[in-house]
């Protein structure tokens, strides 16, 4: 995989406060699906704001596609063009009086031709199921619709990577499912996606890699399965295991205890990410389909 | 109810001595009942105006055309030396907003109730004069003095109130048929300074964000008996506004970050789809302006 964004020993402190992120180093690759996990105040939002260039780290280096990003206007512009950021609260992001104006704000700042801005705006709106919302005022939309507008905002800029800060916060299950579907489509289109969340169930379904922050430091950066298998990491980050993961573990524990012999390498088996997979897992575990082998 | 009472009083004083008493009493009663039934003041008027503008059938008319016509009509109304112009514009606005634009009469009267109340209070101040002896067409004896209404005061108050009513109706014609974002977009096109345009966009957006915040906080305070008595209400309101101010600062910072994250540099720019001026709309606008000008000139 090609490197997209690399952070080396990034350090950021808000005025007269303790450092929000300390000595953070990470590399994000093209097409990845990354979950940035951590409890409240772990530094997830600050990490994202640094990745997008809204916050300038006090020390450390950043590289976009191998080229160093300095604090020059040109470099910051290049970074913000390539790395889109969707804020947690849509009301913090939305500034325009109509949905169309709102979504066109980013492309207009890229100094594109009006026809191109119009094309991108329509494309982003269609992708986010917002066709017909162009003339609607954002302040009269529901929470889920506002969230979709805020994602369309960033999509219209056609970035290589999208950072979503707490994307599932205050969304109902239907909107979470819609969001997940959209993120899957974006991922299939080759866009790198990173979400910051403490919704471990969503992260477990969505991501392949997890970066865990605690007290502003990265305490784990690995395949998401490995992260959730590590009790010390979860304890330090004040995280719980995803429900399906925990249930699968419980099931494995029960099976290993009495009825089924535990074959070597069984621990490496991929835990179910969705309820359908879990049902298959139960079938397989209980030997209904013959072998009793969990793999 | 207050507005209805004011309207009845002012109309009575304005027309006393000029219209037969029975007819005047009947007119006052009709106006009073109509306003007390239909014109009750609602909360969140600003939000209501914006919602109604979004759904008006005249929303499709070019905002530039509406803005310029309204400005010209207002100028004619304010400079008119007769009350016919103001009354004519109030009627035109009513027709354009209610049957043409599709707004319910009840909603329009709700919105009109607030400015009309102020208008009526000012009307009373213009009508009455404190004198030692009874003069003019109407006099009320209060504690040894007379509050009198003269014929000149009636004419003067009627002219001022007609101008104000006409101008307010023109403003409503614009604001109830044109979403604010389109008005701001039009101002940008006529080279209004960029900083003002940016401020207008942000202020417009902030009104909604802060209103939402305010209502949430107020409801939260009310749910904890924050308005249980007068003293508590005052204290709670103080806390509420102080907190709102702090939150508005925080919100401003967050909004600025979000704008910066999308490459904001030198001014807020949006994609603007210009609505073409239809021939029929231009003809109607020219017609209304010409009639207003004609009325203004012929009743000098």
Each residue's pLDDT, cut to its tens digit, for chain B (300 residues) gives 777 888 888 888 888 878 888 888 888 888 888 777 765 655 555 556 777 888 889 888 888 899 999 999 999 999 988 889 999 999 999 999 999 999 888 888 888 888 888 888 888 888 888 888 888 788 888 888 888 888 888 888 889 999 999 999 999 999 999 888 888 888 888 888 888 988 988 888 888 888 888 988 998 888 888 888 899 999 999 999 999 999 898 888 888 999 999 988 878 888 877 777 888 899 999 999 999 999 988 876
User: How far are the Cα atoms of B59, B108, B183 from residue B62, in angstroms, in the given order?
Assistant: 8, 22, 10
A75 touches chain B (CB under 8 A): no
Distance CA A275, CA A265 (A): 23
Indicate the angle between helix axes B2-15 and B151-175, nearest 10 degrees. Answer: 140
A59 strand-pairing partners: A11
The chain B residue lying nearest A119, using CA atoms, is B271
| Inter-chain residue contact B212 with A91, CB threshold 8 Å | yes
Q: Checking DSSP bridges between strand A19-29 and strand A192-197, what pairing results, if any?
A: unpaired
**Cα dihedral B189→B193→B195→B200 (10° resolution):** -60
Per-residue pLDDT tens over the stretch A152-193: 999 999 999 999 999 988 788 888 888 889 899 999 999 999
Per-residue pLDDT tens over the stretch A258-270: 443 334 344 445 7
Check pLDDT > 50 for residue A232: yes
What's the pLDDT score for residue A129? 87
| Inter-chain residue contact B263 with A49, CB threshold 8 Å | no
The closest alpha carbon to A106, from A152, A170, A164, belongs to A152
Residue whose entry in the numeric block shows the structure tokens 């009793």: A292
Residue burial B35-69, b: 16+ Cβ < 10 Å; e: rest: bbebbeeeeeeebebbbbbbebebbebbbbbbbeb
What's the pLDDT score for residue B46? 54
What's the pLDDT score for residue A121? 94
Indicate the angle between helix axes B279-298 and B63-79, nearest 10 degrees. Answer: 0
Residues of A in contact with B180 (CB under 8 A): 97
Q: Name the residue among A97, A106, A118 with its Cβ closest to that of B262.
A: A106
B214 touches chain A (CB under 8 A): no
Check pLDDT > 80 for residue A60: yes
B254, A92 contact by CB (below 8 A): yes
A148, A133 contact by CB (below 8 A): no
Token readout for B281 is 């709309």
B273 touches chain A (CB under 8 A): yes
The H or E element containing residue A209 is strand A209-214
- Tell me the residue length of chain A: 295
Distance CA B295, CA B279 (A): 24
> How many Cβ atoms from other residues are within 10 Å of residue A195's Cβ?
26
Smallest CA–CA separation between A114 and chain B, in Å? 7
Check pLDDT > 70 for residue A16: no
B33 touches chain A (CB under 8 A): no
The chain A residue lying nearest B257, using CA atoms, is A54
Give the pTM. 0.77
A3 touches chain B (CB under 8 A): no
What's the pLDDT score for residue B40? 60
What's the pLDDT score for residue B44? 52
Distance CA A24, CA A8 (A): 7
Mean pLDDT in residue range A119-131: 92
Hey, is A83 helix, strand or coil?
Answer: strand
For A275-281, which contacts have Cβ atoms below 8 Å and span 24 or more sequence positions?
A275/A244, A277/A244, A278/A244, A278/A247, A278/A248, A281/A248, A281/A251
What's the pLDDT score for residue A62? 94
**Would you put residue A30 in left (φ > 0), alpha (ψ -120 to 50) or beta?**
beta
> How many beta-carbon contacts under 8 Å exist across A and B?
104
Phi/psi for B14 (5° steps) reads -65, -40
Handedness of CA A184, A187, A189, A193 (dihedral sign): positive
A77 touches chain B (CB under 8 A): yes
Smallest CA–CA separation between B50 and chain A, in Å? 9
Residue whose entry in the numeric block shows the structure tokens 């949430």: B216
* Percentage of residues in chain A having pLDDT higher than 90: 53
The H or E element containing residue A34 is strand A33-37
- Listed by number, the residues of chain B in 93-132 with a beta carbon closer than 8 Å to a beta carbon of chain A are none
């Amino acid at each position: 995989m090609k490197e997209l964004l690399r952070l080396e020993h990034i350090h950021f402190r808000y005025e007269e406060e303790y450092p929000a992120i300390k000595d953070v180093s990470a590399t994000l690759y093209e097409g990845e699906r990354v979950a940035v996990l951590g409890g409240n105040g772990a530094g997830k939002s600050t990490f994202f704001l640094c990745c997008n260039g809204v916050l300038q780290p006090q020390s450390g280096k950043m590289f976009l596609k191998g080229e160093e990003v300095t604090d020059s206007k040109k470099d910051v512009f290049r970074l913000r063009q390539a790395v889109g950021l969707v804020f947690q609260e849509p009301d913090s992001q939305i500034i325009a009086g109509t949905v169309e104006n709102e979504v066109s704000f980013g492309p207009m700042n890229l100094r594109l031709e009006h026809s191109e801005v119009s094309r991108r705006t329509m494309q982003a709106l269609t992708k986010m199921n917002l066709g017909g919302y162009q003339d609607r005022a954002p302040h009269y939309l529901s929470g889920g619709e506002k969230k979709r507008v805020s994602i369309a905002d960033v999509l219209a800029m056609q970035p290589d990577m999208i950072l979503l800060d707490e994307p599932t916060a205050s969304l109902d299950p239907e909107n979470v499912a819609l969001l997940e579907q959209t993120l899957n489509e974006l991922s299939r289109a080759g866009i790198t996606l990173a979400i910051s969340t403490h919704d471990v169930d969503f992260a477990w379904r969505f991501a392949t890699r997890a970066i865990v922050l605690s007290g502003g430091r990265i305490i784990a950066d690995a395949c998401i399965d490995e992260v959730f298998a590590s009790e010390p990491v979860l304890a330090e980050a004040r995280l719980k295991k995803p429900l399906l993961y925990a249930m699968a573990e419980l099931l494995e524990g029960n099976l290993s205890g009495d009825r089924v012999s535990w074959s070597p390498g069984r621990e490496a088996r991929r835990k179910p990410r969705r309820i359908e997979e879990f049902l298959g897992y139960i079938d397989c575990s209980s030997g209904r389909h013959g072998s009793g082998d969990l793999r | 109810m207050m507005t209805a009472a004011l309207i009845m009083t002012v109309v009575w004083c304005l027309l006393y001595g000029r219209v037969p008493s029975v007819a005047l009493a009947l007119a006052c009663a009709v106006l009073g009942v109509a306003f007390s039934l239909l014109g009750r003041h609602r909360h969140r008027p600003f939000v209501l105006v914006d919602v109604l503008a979004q759904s008006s059938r005249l929303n499709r008319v070019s905002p530039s055309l509406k803005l310029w016509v309204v400005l010209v009509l207002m100028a004619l109304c304010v400079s008119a030396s007769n009350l016919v112009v103001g009354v004519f514009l109030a009627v035109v606005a009513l027709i354009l907003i209610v049957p043409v634009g599709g707004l319910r009469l009840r909603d329009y009267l709700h919105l009109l109730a607030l400015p009309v109340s102020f208008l009526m209070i000012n009307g009373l101040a213009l009508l009455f004069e404190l004198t030692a002896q009874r003069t003019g067409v109407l006099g009320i004896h209060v504690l040894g003095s007379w509050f009198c209404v003269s014929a000149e005061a009636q004419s003067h108050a009627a002219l001022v109130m007609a101008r104000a009513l006409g101008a307010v109706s023109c403003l409503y014609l614009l604001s109830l048929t044109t979403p604010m974002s389109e008005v701001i977009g039009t101002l940008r096109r006529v080279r209004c300074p960029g900083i003002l345009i940016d401020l207008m966009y942000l202020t417009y957006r902030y009104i909604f964000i802060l209103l939402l915040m305010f209502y949430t906080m107020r409801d939260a305070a009310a749910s904890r008996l924050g308005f249980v008595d007068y003293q508590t209400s005052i204290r709670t309101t103080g806390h509420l506004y102080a907190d709102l101010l702090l939150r508005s600062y925080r919100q401003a910072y967050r909004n600025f970050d979000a704008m910066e994250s999308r490459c904001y540099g030198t001014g807020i720019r949006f994609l603007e789809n210009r609505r073409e001026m239809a021939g029929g709309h231009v003809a109607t606008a020219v017609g209304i302006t010409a009639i207003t000008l004609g009325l203004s000139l012929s009743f000098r």
